[in-house]
Structure 1
């Protein structure tokens, strides 16, 4: 397979994968391009390579910076901004896990905590509601603990864990 074909295939696949991570397709494609680029890229280079508009590129680059997986770089004598991403895949997974935890797990845990003190005229319904949402809260807390441990782990711990599986 030629480099151009392989690069395009990877960018498309990473875009699809990004959707599973809670990142839109264009964001993931920009990230994929930065991931395989040996040097930081400008917005114009990203736009040209991915055939996207300036607005789409700017919005998604900003979002990737907010996620903590893309960095902006200024160069002396250059008016353009350059963007890059880390190449350490484990670090990327940790950062995405932290962000998803902040955006998804923390809010649902907050709601599950708030609704545990439910009461009502129908005690059977209230009890069932408490049981189900309590089980969901307990499960979510365990998942949260695993994500927290993973995000604070070092490579050796994680790879040892994988080898046990």
Structure 2
């Protein structure tokens, strides 16, 4: 397989993976393109490579910047904006985990905490089942949150070393 074909295959695979994780396919493809580009890319280069509209490219780049996965750069003497993705996979994983935590896990924990205070008849089977389910899910969510917190604060080698010790 030649490099151009391999690059296209990577972009498509990253886009599919992103959509499996609930991330817009185009957003994942733009991120993939920037990951494998040695130089920062302009909006026009991204549009041309991925065959997407300017509006789609601009919206996607703003979203990637919002996620902390892409940075905007300016080159002296040029009016064009350039976009660059951090190539460090550990930084990427931590940033995605941080954003997913903020957008998904934190709101769920807030609701579960609220539901943990529901009042009812302690002898009612429906109340017992409801409160136990909420308690168990809340415990799991908070353990996931603690694990994410550890990941976000950890250095890569320490984190993976700790995880692999658990599974030995």
Shorter-chain TM-score: which interval?
over 0.9
- Equivalent residue for 1:107? 107
**Equivalent pairs, count:** 165
- Equivalent residue for 2:97? 97
TM-score, normalized by length of structure 1? Answer: 0.95
- Equivalent residue for 1:136? 137
- Equivalent residue for 1:15? 15
Moved over 4 A (4+): none
CA offset digits 1:100-157 (Å, max 9, x no partner): 0001100000000001121346832122111001100000000111111011110220
- Equivalent residue for 1:65? 65
In 2, the alpha carbon distance for the partners of 1:103 and 1:89 equals: 21
Unaligned runs of 5+ in 1: none
TM-score, normalized by length of structure 2? Answer: 0.93
Unaligned runs of 5+ in 2: none
The root-mean-square deviation of aligned C-alpha atoms, in Å, is 1.4
- 2:119 is paired with a residue whose SS is coil
